[in-house]
Each structure stands twice: as structure tokens, then as C-alpha cells.
Homo-oligomer: A and B are copies of this chain.
């Protein structure tokens, strides 16, 4: 069947998940997910000798669901260590629910092929893992969830985590964990906090055992069953990998300049405004332009949200942003800042972005600056599959933030190499066009016709304006009309909208 935005969802999946029917069409009252608790008595020790022992003690067995967090990004050692041990012990049919999957998790491919891992939900799938899954190595499709959608799924019980294996930059022997101390500091543990709260059992894996009580406490002892000390949980270099310096690329600078103009000429740009940016070169450049405008016009932001970078930390230190609200850190300086500044505040993924929470912080957000692999003439955005149809991106907070904030801006070059970014129809919809307000390219901007208020607001804006159709035509004029991808018949990934319904599926290539 087809969903509201005309994407074809096979009946079996439509029946199981429901189909996307509008940004807020599926927000209903619900009951908190069930959870079992095994009390810990005085004198009981949580310390175990090895990951092997933790697998034994948790009673992990065939068919169970385990989770991991992705705060170590390309520096994560934990998921590979745990899956290797599980494989060695002969446990099969495991469902994994990491908050995301990175290139470093390439060994996962063998675990899939050997039947150790049979189900996956994740925000992202990179490079070799994404390509392998796109080629059809799994029987069951991967479920791609946004960061807010994953929190929703855990809190509502759509994902029931039997055992969470959480890399802990520092922990005491009773399981008080933070990400700002230790050998492999990652800063915020926002995604892991949710797993710790709702998993039946939680194993903290640390390389930095601290005296009791370890504070600050991001994950409390009351959410942790066992603590395992290993030599190393992550590579600090890998944690910051991909973090971007300010761009010198003229195209990116032009996009950033246009984006900053949109922001500073909007009615949202006033004292106490709030914003979220990404980590790409253009996003960081927007921050720089924004900074100058804030100084020039004596405007301060109340908070900056989301994945935090050093660029944000500097804005706070300059007094231009009152508070940083942090679900994830993208570089070392921001992880350090979280540990040192009371106005740099850690939150969990449910509070960041869940559509079913009692109000996520993105609901209070004025402006979000988001990226795209593709945008189509319905303003739908793809951040998941490449122009070849292969899984290589991440859903992230894209659909969450753009749905909830007051003005969502997608910034992207019109063309990448010889491939158009603005297209007739995106390969994969992650964020519906209804959530996207302004598309910013180096040629100019396109405002979603659904936002007549913004069209009026920006009538005199000193930035070239086009319809999205015009932008697409300009792209196609250079690249030619892209050839359709030849997909196979198998569904390799389900793209869950943040509310739990399916907004799209990805087929094998």
C-alpha cells in the first residue's frame, strides 16, 4: 500500500508498523514499556571479571535483544568485543539495537553471515556494513529509526532491550557512569541513558574504574546491574573522527552565508532564540556568520541544542549562547566542556527528541539547520541512501528536529560531483516535505509553499529565491536527468518515521 506521501510500503510491513499518515497523526497516549528489575542487596558486588562472565550472568541467550550506544562513533571497541564473545559462545539469532552503527563495526558483517545477528535497528549504516546490507545479506530488514524515534520505541516497548552493553568512559564499581572522565571521554551519554533506564539488564563496560561515588552521574547505579573492567573501550581519536574544521570551500561558505541571512532576517532571530546546527563544514560556517550577526545586533540565544561541537562551546564561552543542551558530543573540546560548565547540560534522547515524551526539547527549538543527501520537489529529504541506492547515511535527529522546530532549514549544495541534490523524487524519504521549511543551496533558497508566513517574511530578503522545481531544473541542467536506480525485490531496510509508522522502505541493489 501507499502511505500519505505515496511511498510504496509492502503490506506485511504496513500491517506490522502502520504507515506514515502525517507528522502528528499517530501521537497517542500509551503505557510505559515493561521492565524487570533484579534488586541488589547490601554486600552484593556488581563487578565481573570479563564480558564473557557478564554474558553468562545476564543469562543472554538465542533470540534476545541487546543494545549499544554510538557515542564513541568511529572509536568504538565495545560492540565488536561483545559480539565477538557472543559469537564465540555459540549464541545465535541476536537482535541488536545500537543507537547507530559506524565503519568500525565492519566485523558485524561476518556475525550477520554466521547467524549470530539476525535483526538490527539503528539510526545509521555506514560504508561496508551499509553496502553489505544493501546487497541483501540479511533475511529481516534493518529498521532505521531516528534518534527520537529510537527513544520512543524503547520507552513504549517497541524495542525491548534484554541486555544493554554500555561503554562507560568512567564508572565506579556500583555503576555510576559519566562520559567526561576516563581514558576515552565522549562527553554526553544521551543515547545510552535511555537504554540504561529501560533495559531489563545493564552491563557497564569501562576502562576507567573510579572511586565510589563517581560523579557527575549520567547513568546511575540504580540503572546498572554489572560492571566489567576491560583494557580499552574506545579510541579517543576515533571519537572525534569526522569532526569538521571551518570550511574554506567557497560553495559551502555561500550556502552558509545565505542560511545565516535567512535566520537573521527571520522573526525568530531575537533575544532568547534557540537553534541547532549540524557538524558539516557549511553548518559550522553558519555558526560563524550567526555569531557575527549576534554580536552586531546584540542578540543572545537562550540555548543551542543537539549534537554539540566546539563551535557551540565557543559561542557559550563568549556569552552569545546561555546554555548548551547536549545529547551527544562531536569533538573532544565539547566533551571537556560538558564536564566543566554548569550551563552545558546533558539530556537523554527521550528529552531531546521523542515524539511521545511529555514534550521534547526540540518542541521548544526555533531554528534547526540540517543536511541532506537529496531533497525532492515535495521537499522530502533523504539522508539514508546514496545516489546509487546503497545504505550509507543516518536518520539521526533529522525528522525529529525538522518536525518539531519553528523553522527547519535544509542546507545542501545543488550538485555534488556530477550528482544532483535537488531531484524529482528522493531515493529514500527519511523526513517528509511537510517538515521542511527552507532549502538553502549555493544558488539561493526555496521556501516550502506550505509556509506562506515565511514566504511573506522573506519577501525582501537579499538572497536569490526560487521554487524547489526551479532549483531542481538548475541541477538537472548541469547533471542531466538522473537514471533510475535498478533495485531488487527484497526489502533490506524499513524507514520508520519518528512516530513508529513506516515512511519508506529500501530495497536491495
Residues of A bordering B, CB below 8 Å: 24, 27-32, 34-44, 46, 155, 174-175, 211-213, 215-217, 220-225, 272, 302-303, 323, 325, 342-343, 345, 347, 350-351, 354-364, 403-405
Q: Is the interface of A mostly helix, strand, loop or mixed?
A: loop
A-B CB proximity, top 5 nearest: A40-B359, A32-B35, A42-B363, A39-B356, A42-B404
Min Cβ gap A202→B in Å is 8
| Sample of 16 further A-B pairs with CB below 8 A, known A213-B345, A223-B358 | A24-B41, A30-B37, A30-B39, A32-B34, A39-B357, A39-B358, A42-B403, A46-B359, A174-B359, A175-B358, A215-B343, A215-B345, A220-B347, A222-B354, A222-B357, A224-B358
Copies in the complex: 2
Please name all residues of chain B whose beta carbon is closer than 8 Å to the beta carbon of A356 when the two chains form the complex.
Answer: 37, 39
Q: Indicate whether A221 sits within 8 Å of B343 (C-beta atoms), given known contacts A31-B35, A357-B40, A358-B37.
A: no
Please name all residues of chain B whose beta carbon is closer than 8 Å to the beta carbon of A343 when the two chains form the complex.
Answer: 215
Give the residue of B37, B38, B42, B213 whose beta carbon is less than 8 angstroms from that of A302.
Answer: B213
- A221–B351 contact, CB under 8 A? yes
Question: Which among A37, A211, A403 has the greatest number of chain B C-beta atoms within 10 A?
Answer: A37
Q: Indicate whether A342 sits within 8 Å of B216 (C-beta atoms), given known contacts A37-B358, A222-B351.
A: yes
- A359–B44 contact, CB under 8 A? yes
Min Cβ gap A348→B in Å is 8
Min Cβ gap A47→B in Å is 12
- A364–B212 contact, CB under 8 A? yes
- A323–B213 contact, CB under 8 A? yes
Please name all residues of chain B whose beta carbon is closer than 8 Å to the beta carbon of A24 when the two chains form the complex.
Answer: 41
In Å, the complex CA distance between A190 and B325 comes to 23
- A303–B213 contact, CB under 8 A? yes
Please name all residues of chain B whose beta carbon is closer than 8 Å to the beta carbon of A217 when the two chains form the complex.
Answer: 345, 347
- A40–B363 contact, CB under 8 A? yes
- B358–A221 contact, CB under 8 A? yes
Please name all residues of chain B whose beta carbon is closer than 8 Å to the beta carbon of A37 when the two chains form the complex.
Answer: 29-32, 155, 356-358
Min Cβ gap A503→B in Å is 18
Question: Which among A220, A359, A360, A361 has the greatest number of chain B C-beta atoms within 10 A?
Answer: A359
Please name all residues of chain B whose beta carbon is closer than 8 Å to the beta carbon of A361 when the two chains form the complex.
Answer: 213, 221
Give the residue of B29, B42, B347 whose beta carbon is less than 8 angstroms from that of A36.
Answer: B29
Please name all residues of chain B whose beta carbon is closer than 8 Å to the beta carbon of A272 when the two chains form the complex.
Answer: 211
In Å, the complex CA distance between A29 and B34 comes to 13
Min Cβ gap A335→B in Å is 16
Please name all residues of chain B whose beta carbon is closer than 8 Å to the beta carbon of A28 when the two chains form the complex.
Answer: 39
Residue of B nearest to A356 (CB): B39
In Å, the complex CA distance between A375 and B12 comes to 68
- A34–B31 contact, CB under 8 A? yes
Give the residue of B27, B41, B46, B323 whose beta carbon is less than 8 angstroms from that of A215.
Answer: B323
Q: Indicate whether A30 sits within 8 Å of B36 (C-beta atoms), given known contacts A221-B351, A272-B211, A342-B342.
A: yes
In Å, the complex CA distance between A28 and B44 comes to 14
Query: 22 A–B contact pairs at CB < 8 A?
Result: A30-B39, A32-B34, A32-B35, A37-B356, A37-B358, A39-B355, A39-B359, A42-B363, A42-B405, A44-B359, A174-B364, A212-B303, A213-B323, A213-B345, A215-B343, A216-B342, A221-B358, A221-B361, A222-B351, A222-B354, A224-B359, A225-B358
